[in-house]
Amino acid sequence: MKTNKKPLALFIVIVLSVSLFGLCKAFGAAADYLPNENIKSIRFTEDTAVYTDPYRGFFRAYDFEDLNPDRLDRRRAENISLILLRMNLSAFKNGPIADKDLMDLQNSLDTLRQWGMTVIFRPVYDRVGADKPEPKDINIILGHITQMCEVLSENEDILFAVQPGLLGPYGEWHGSYYEDPKTGVISFEVQSKIVDSFYRQLPSSVPLQLRRPSFIRGLTGNAPVTASDAFGTSLASRLGYHNDALLSTYNDMGTYRDEAYPRGAEYNWTNAHMQYLPVVAEVCKLSEYCEPVSAARELDLLNVSSINSTHHPDVMNYWKEEKYRNEPAYTYIQKKLGYRFILNKAGFSTNTWQGNFLHLNLQLTNDGFGNLLRPVDFEIVMTGSDKTYTAYIDDDARFWDDDTGVLNKDFYFSLPSDMPEGSYTVSLRLSSTYDSLKNNPDYSVRFASGGVWDAKTGLNNIGSITIGKPKTPGIPVALFEEITRDEASRLNDSSKDYAGTASHDITYKPLQNTEAITQDTPPQSSELFAIYKDGENLKIALNGIDVEQRRHIFINTDQNSKNGYTLSDRYTGFDFMIEGNRLYNYTGEAGSDDWSWERNSSFDSETTGNSVLFTVKTSVLEVTSPIKITAIYRANSDNSIIYRIDYTD
């Protein structure tokens, strides 16, 4: 175990009670449970909203002078976090870059950092489309690279990628003075000198992007960058590419000019080579390849992280008008660009205590077009009323591949012997590794799971535990940190006198027989509404709802349809009602629709995001095991969407 030992301390009993931030369901029995260990889990629904995450999504292209507060505020409102920052060097074709312009570069990067943006950087000698705009002396260009790299190296924290640019109109490596007149391709010698200059002078964490895949193969060969090579120091592991004519023609207007790699072969090569390297793009014309089904498939094959949101307007407007998978294609593409992590389940051990361990199961997927390409620290955070505990998790989210499918993660953490008693919120954080951005919500990764994200802290809140009082002495534990399963087992074995009281039986019961009363609206997911038993309490969970909307839950506790409140001819006998966040007993005429109710104060509710969890003692409902109840959830006052659960324990 990684801790330093302290003198003998007491074990503190931890009673783990999951407070649902999403809808609860139990994991299936885990084969690797430790003796006497339970797991109770939370199932989350997908958050289908468009939101801002670092290093992905649509980007906008700006020069230094464009970076005003109004414009950047609008970009944040559009969920744009990536800026292609151009540096115009047209005034310096005969000598070094002026100090003022280098200072403007630094000021621009500072501004973008303040606005929570990440940067794709491209220097250019042309902004109007002129051929052969660059200096004729390659040494002037190399000198400019050295000057720029001195500034860029001090700002690697917000650099997503650097595009060498410089050559040809707009820095797109065509129409250049250095093109071979026979092939129309930039001479290999010039390519090598420019790329090598950036490669040697920029930090190894900063990837480069070339204009065509063939340029990459010419410099590094055609072998793909595998997981074992990824994010390394070799040139191949640092070369991504930018396609400034995406989805335009069969060869994307010359992007795919290599005869050995026609369009299909280029897509296959890019899919293999660019799993861990940045691909960004610009769409320059409306074509048959922009059709949503085709575009979505190709963006996924190319692992595209970002697209210019303004080019081409015809394409963007077409995507906004055309539907794909029941939403505008523009919205679908915006959500899928780059990585997109969905936390499906989070499971906790329920019979642990202070000085013992916390067992955490995660089930997640990456359903984006690509992967996370910048380093983040993955941490678990336990926040109490007076103290916060944070533990680093040894798992690199850059390898949560989009092509893997469901990822199952299993972690153990030691719990300090001196943790104060009380309730702790359990959260996951994926934040920048750079001190300048550490724990900044703008540079933290959000799970696409309903109700978990806290925009103020950058935490993904997944549940809560309560720390209780110690019962017997145990092995002293100094730190909250990740440990191995064997270390967790040793902690567990040291206090069998308490652990032996637990069992593998999970008291949570999944919902049964959920159905819609009316069929005017198709039934929504059954995960919307759930009931389960937790000790002496009955838990009722609603997930993925508008918490401000008027709602009712009617509960029949005795299965007698002739007494209680009558909701409809089909559903009668309701003894209790939840209206908003209050519980009521029925006091009207038995078997009628007399709206007569008396408030019952023995009730608790917790609202988090778009989820609500109600807690009521079984004694208040006047039920004992075996419990058999029927509950109806009415989503609004006109009965248009109604759900039923028949629950038994």
Q: Quote the CA–CA distance of 41 and 64 in Å, as a whole number.
A: 49
Q: Which residues is 606 bridged to in the sheet?
A: 613
Q: Quote the CA–CA distance of 120 and 86 in Å, as a whole number.
A: 9
Q: Quote the CA–CA distance of 396 and 399 in Å, as a whole number.
A: 6
Instruction: Name the band, by pLDDT with cuts 50, 70 and 90, for residue 579.
Output: confident
Instruction: Name the band, by pLDDT with cuts 50, 70 and 90, for residue 498.
Output: very low
What pLDDT digit, counting tens, does each position of 111-142 carry? 999 999 999 999 999 999 999 999 999 999 99
What pLDDT digit, counting tens, does each position of 212-263 carry? 999 999 999 999 999 999 999 999 999 999 999 999 999 999 999 999 999 9
Q: Quote the CA–CA distance of 160 and 141 in Å, as a whole number.
A: 23
What pLDDT digit, counting tens, does each position of 6-47 carry? 333 333 333 333 333 333 333 333 336 676 666 777 888 899
Least confident of 154-168, 236-250, 357-371, 541-555: 541-555
What average pLDDT does this structure show over 169-179?
95
56-206 matches 9-49+340-499 in CATH topology: no
- Whole-number pLDDT of residue 474: 76
Pairing of strands 239-243, 279-281: parallel
CATH of domain 515-648: 2.60.40
Q: Quote the CA–CA distance of 2 and 110 in Å, as a whole number.
A: 39
CATH of domain 9-49+340-499: 2.60.40.770
**Per-residue pLDDT for 534 more than 90?**
no
**CATH number, domain 56-206, options 1.10.3720.10, 3.20.20.80, 3.90.76.10, 3.30.360.10:** 3.20.20.80
- Whole-number pLDDT of residue 527: 56
Nearest to 408 by CA among 72, 80, 55, 30: 30
The residue whose two tokens read 């010698």 is 189
What average pLDDT does this structure show over 510-523?
32
Nearest to 544 by CA among 467, 609, 494, 588: 609
Nearest to 584 by CA among 600, 569, 572: 600
For the chain, give every domain's residue range: 9-49+340-499, 56-206, 515-648
- Whole-number pLDDT of residue 465: 80
Strands of 39-43's sheet in order across: 23-24, 39-43, 341-349, 357-366, 407-414, 481-483
